[in-house]
Structure 1
């Protein structure tokens, strides 16, 4: 059986834009395993897990994860990394797609992998979504937020 670190390193290899093997990535998980995109409040299970990879790679087809530190603590693997790539695909938002900008992203991220008997039970990805959005030119819209809060306060 592979070590927990080997399983996690294989997961990152399979998620690279140049490799992108969603089914192989899924096979590293337990039957009931989950992939949690924590900043975006999304949880992927079963066949959704490879779709999460292909969806991101559709936006950043050259996606690469630069591993800065890998720390194994029993059945937990903690990884500090940077998610890098080029914005070449439409980025979906609740109000429409952000068209490709060609901008490079370099997003600080921390991942926690929880394994059981050589399989991933839970993968929690803590990416700096605000940094990614700023890097593709989608900074926060403070004006709309302030106007909405003022309208609520005035009862409008």
Structure 2
């Protein structure tokens, strides 16, 4: 049986832009497994899990994850990494899409993987979404936020 670290490393390999195997990625999870995109408050369950990969790869087709530190402690694997890629696809937002900028991203991220019997039960991804947005040119509109708060 593969070690928990081997399972997680395989998950990263399958999520690379030049591989992108959503079916294989999904197969590494338990039947009721979850993928939690924590900064965006999104949870993908079961057969929805490959959609998380496809969505990010649609925006950054050359998506790569540079693993900086990998620590396996029992059934938990903690990873410090950088998500990298080029903004070549439309980035969806609640009020419309951000058109591709061609900008490179290099986003600090921490992932926690919880495994049971050699399968991923829960994957929590904590990426610095504010850094990603800044790198594609989507900076916060503080003036509008201040005006809205003043009118409340």
Q: Normalising to structure 1: TM-score of the pair?
A: 0.97
Q: Which residue of 2 aligns with 1:145?
A: 145
Q: Distance in 1 between matches of 2:27 and 2:141?
A: 40
Q: In the alignment, what sits opposite 1:93?
A: 93
> Does the alignment pair 1:78 with 2:81?
no
Separation of aligned partners in 1, 2:144 and 2:117: 49
> Once the 2 structures are TM-superposed, how far is the Cα of residue 30 of structure 1 from its aligned partner?
0.2
1:37-116 equivalence runs, <5 A: 37-116=37-116
Q: Show the counterpart of 1:123.
A: 123
RMSD: 0.4
The structural deviation recorded for 1:55 is: 0.7
Number of residue pairs the alignment of both structures matches: 152
User: Deviation of residue 46 (structure 1)?
Assistant: 1.3
The aligned counterpart of 1:8 is: 8
Q: Where in structure 2 are the equivalents of 1:12-23 lying within 5 Å?
A: 12-23=12-23
1:128 CA displacement: 0.2
Larger Rg: 1
Check if 1:135 corresponds to 2:139. no
Unaligned runs of 5+ in 2: none
Give the deviation of 1:48 after TM superposition: 1.1
